[in-house]
Structure 1
Amino acid sequence: MPAPSSRHRSGKGPRAAEAIFDATLRLLAERGYAGLTIEAVAQEAGVNKTTIYRWWPSKAPLLHAALVGARVLDIDVPDTGTLRADLIALTEQVIDLVTGARTQPVVRAVASGSGLPDDELATLTRDFFADRFSREEPVFTRAVARGELPPGADPMLLLDLIAGAVWMRALLRSKPVPPGFAAAVVDAVLPARQSA
């Protein structure tokens, strides 16, 4: 049976998967990777551990699936009609993720490594951000089609600069993110002709 994902949530399996994902991320935030066990996740999620093992052979692939598939870490890709407004909406969601009561502990645990072996941490972060970029890419495709960005623009660089500003402020400096921060960051990053 294929591992349930956020893209297919109907039926018993995906509902169980969502509970498993939530439990996995909660326990990661509380205990770190070393303290994360399949048994604890099963108990927290209210499922049998054989259910988890049927879909994920160990905690590394389980955590990978939880980071990519959990609803709590989902983003809604906006389509406002302008690149600037789309990027502000995306930035506000990033702010919510790194400052939210449920999500900030998870983000901090992953950002700090939380006891993950370096190779697993690298794989997790690479795949998480690749998944998010694939979801956000239509924002830039539409912007190029509207003439807001040149065809050779590097959308990943724009996203890195925008998200990096949020992560630096909220996580690394532990500073509050003031109202209007998303718009200020987007306007600082976008070419002047686009932020006007």
Structure 2
Amino acid sequence: MDMTSEKVATRSRGRPRDAEIDRRIIDAARTLLAEGGYHALAFDSISQMTEIPRSMIYRRWPTKAHLANEIATGGGESFPDVIDHDGLEAQVALLAGQIFERYRRPDIGAAAVGVIASTQGDRTLQAELQHDSERGARARMASIVDKGKAAGLIAGDCDPDALFDMMVGTLLYRALFSLETPPADYVERVTRLVVDGVATRSEQ
């Protein structure tokens, strides 16, 4: 999951990577994920779809977990930061909406679930794939909370790490794992609960 959009570092030395080849590989991987889930993601299939040799794919992403993780965590998105001019409720609504809608996408959802399952128990690989993106996302959340506290919008005892866990965990569970269809106003419901929990009394 990267709300910071930090990319997995290039894993090979030498000539710069061809961005067009990267794009073709990722586009093919997104199609496979969206249509068949994580099990359908295979370098042989990508090679057939793109006519790019498997060796070139492996040089960029040594395993399909690395490739899926880039799809799950990349994309140029970061947590929106609008609390200074739009207020607390707008800030929470944008955060909740971005997280929820991102992980409801078939390709990203399949990539995220696949990475979680395939790296279970391998803390070294989990750290390699997720540490930088999670650290960046938590730092972004902490910055937003600090601004909200300074503006008198967020209670002084609000823990940004706990807020991150509560929002991201809740929204990812509903987007990725729950069998219940979310109500149309699900993001608004989550927003209201979060605002009620973190706002100063004057803001409630």
Same fold (TM over 0.5): yes
The unaligned stretches of length 5 or more in structure 1 are 5-10
1:157 is aligned to 162
Amino acid at match of 2:198: P
1:89 is aligned to 94
1:77 and 2:83 correspond: no
1:191 and 2:178 correspond: no
Amino acid at match of 1:3: T
In the TM superposition, 1:1-196 aligns within 5 A as: 3=10, 13-27=18-32, 30=36, 32=38, 36-70=41-75, 74-75=77-78, 77-80=80-83, 81=85, 82-111=87-116, 113=117, 115-116=118-119, 118-119=121-122, 122-123=126-127, 124-150=129-155, 153-189=158-194, 190-193=197-200, 196=204
The unaligned stretches of length 5 or more in structure 2 are 1-8
> What displacement does 1:91 show?
0.4
Aligned equivalents of 1:31, 1:100: Cα separation in 2: 12
Amino acid at match of 2:200: R
Q: Retained in 1: the 8 A contact 2:148–2:154?
A: yes
Instruction: State TM-score, norm by structure 1.
Output: 0.68
Instruction: State TM-score, norm by structure 2.
Output: 0.66
Residue 103 of structure 1 aligns to a residue in which SS? helix
Counterparts in 2 of 1:192 and 1:54: CA distance versus 1, 3 Å: closer
Aligned equivalents of 1:83, 1:152: Cα separation in 2: 16
Aligned residues with identical type, % of pairs: 22
Aligned equivalents of 1:44, 1:134: Cα separation in 2: 39
Aligned equivalents of 1:67, 1:106: Cα separation in 2: 6
- The RMSD of aligned alpha carbons is 3.5
Aligned equivalents of 1:152, 1:14: Cα separation in 2: 45
Aligned residue-pair number:
184
Q: Retained in 2: the 8 A contact 1:170–1:176?
A: no
Query: Whose RCO is larger (CA < 8 A, sep 6+)?
Result: 2
Amino acid at match of 2:121: D
Counterparts in 2 of 1:25 and 1:109: CA distance versus 1, 3 Å: farther
1:8 is aligned to none
Counterparts in 2 of 1:95 and 1:57: CA distance versus 1, 3 Å: closer
Residue 183 of structure 1 aligns to a residue in which SS? helix
**1:23-77 Cα deviation digits (max 9, x unpaired):** 33544563636x6443433444453434334433444443443433245xx4552
1:7 is aligned to none
Aligned equivalents of 2:70, 2:108: Cα separation in 1: 16
